[in-house]
Structure 1
Amino acid sequence: MFFERSPASLKEVETLLASHGAHEALIKPLSKNHNDKNQIYSGSDFRPLFPTFDMKFSFRGASTSRKKGSKTKGQAIPEAVFRRFVWVDASGREIPARNVKMIIYAQYPETRLSGFQTVDNTMPEAMSVEFTKRYPDVPRYLVLGRRGSGEAVAVMVADPANTFMDEVAELPNATGSRVWKHLRLRATAPARLISMLAGAAGRPMPGCRLDSAGRTLPFNGTQVCGYTLEHALGIVPNSDKHGDFEGIELKTHTQKKVTLFTPEPDMGLYSENFDRFMEKHGYLDGSGHYRLTGIHRVGIRCDKSGLTLEVKNHDRGTTLASSADKGVHLALTDDNDELAAGWSLDRILNCWTSKHNEAVYIPATKSKCTDKDLKAEGYGHLVEFSDQVMWCRETSAEQLFEALYNGTLFLDPAPKFCPGNPKLNKRRSQWRVNDIAAAAHDLYTDVRIIALSDELAG
Structure 2
Amino acid sequence: MDLAAIQNNLYELGAERIIVKQLANNDNTKQQVYLGGSFEVIQLLPSGEIYSSGMSSKGPIFKASLTFYWMTPDGKVELAPGAQLILYPKYPEVRFSGFLKGCKSSPSHLMQPPTKVERTERADKNRILFLGICEDRIIGYVTHWDDPVTHELNDKINAGQLSLVASVFYSLEEKVDTRTDLLNKLIQIHKAGLVPSQRIKDGKIIPYEAMNGAGFTLESLFGISPNGIAEPDYEDWELKAHSGSVVTLMTPEPDVGLYLDDLEVFLRQYGWSRNSERLDFASIHKTNIVNERTRLKLVMEGYDATRQEITDPDGGLHLVDSEGNLAAGWSFSKILEHWKRKHSRTCFVSYSKHVDGSVFYQFGPGVRLAEGAGIKNYLSSLYSQAVYYDPGINMKLNNGKWKSKKRNQFRTKWKDIEALYDKVTDLKLDEL
Q: For the superposition of Structure 1 and Structure 2, which TM-score range results when normalised by the shorter chain?
A: 0.7 to 0.9
Say yes or no: does 1:40 pair with 2:33.
yes
Residues 45-444 of structure 1 correspond to what in structure 2 (within 5 A)?
46-59=38-51, 78-82=62-66, 98=81, 100-104=83-87, 111-116=94-99, 122-129=105-112, 137-138=121-122, 139-143=125-129, 154-159=140-145, 165=154, 168=157, 180=168, 186-201=175-190, 203-212=193-202, 214-238=203-227, 242-285=231-274, 288-318=277-307, 320=309, 323=311, 325=313, 327-370=314-357, 380-419=358-397, 422=401, 424-435=403-414, 438-444=415-421
Q: Is the 8 A contact 1:251 1:359 kept in 2?
A: yes
Q: Which runs of 5+ in 1 are unaligned?
A: 371-379
Q: Taking structure 1 as reference, are residues 47 and 223 closer, same or farther at Cα in structure 2, changes over 3 Å only?
A: same
Contact 1:48/1:174 (8 A) holds in 2: no
Q: CA deviation at 1:55?
A: 3.9
Is the Cα–Cα contact under 8 Å of residues 38 and 92 in structure 2 kept in the other structure? no
- Structure 1, residues 137-160: CA drift from partner, whole Å, max 9, x if none? 453335466969998665524325
2:24 to 30, 43, 57: 30
Aligned-CA RMSD value: 4.2
For 2:349, what is the secondary structure of its paired residue? strand
Separation in 2, partners of 1:444, 1:408: 12
User: Which digits, 9 at most, give the CA deviation of each residue in 1:241-280, with x for residues without a partner?
Assistant: 6431123211112222011110011100001110100010
Deviation at residue 312 of structure 1 after TM alignment: 0.5
Specify the code of the residue in structure 2 equivalent to 1:268. Answer: G
**Cα deviation 1:179-216 (Å, max 9, x = unaligned):** x366696523332222222222251111111111x222
The 8 Å contact of residues 54 and 354 in structure 1, kept in 2 or not, is answered as no
User: Is the CA contact 2:110–2:144 (under 8 Å) kept in the aligned structure 1?
Assistant: no
Does the 8 Å CA contact 1:58/1:80 hold for their aligned counterparts?
A: yes
Once the two structures are superposed, residues 147-180 of structure 1 have per-residue CA deviations (whole angstroms, 9 ceiling, x without a partner) of 6999866552432566754765787998997xx3
Report % sequence identity. Answer: 23
Could you report, residue by residue, the CA deviation over 1:303-345 in whole angstroms, capped at 9, with x for unpaired residues? Answer: 121111110012124464x6353x1210011111211100011
3-state SS of the aligned residue for 1:102?
strand
- Report the Cα distance in structure 1 between the residues aligned to 2:237 and 2:78, rounded to whole angstroms: 25
| Higher relative contact order, structure no. (Cα contacts within 8 Å, ≥ 6 residues apart) | 1
Q: TM-score scaled to structure 2, two decimals?
A: 0.80
Amino acid at match of 1:399: N
Q: 1:235 to 1:94 in 2, by over 3 A?
A: farther
* TM-score, normalised relative to structure 1: 0.76
Q: 1:304 to 1:46 in 2, by over 3 A?
A: same
Match of 1:386, SS?
strand
Q: CA deviation at 1:442?
A: 1.1
Bigger fraction of residues in strand: 2
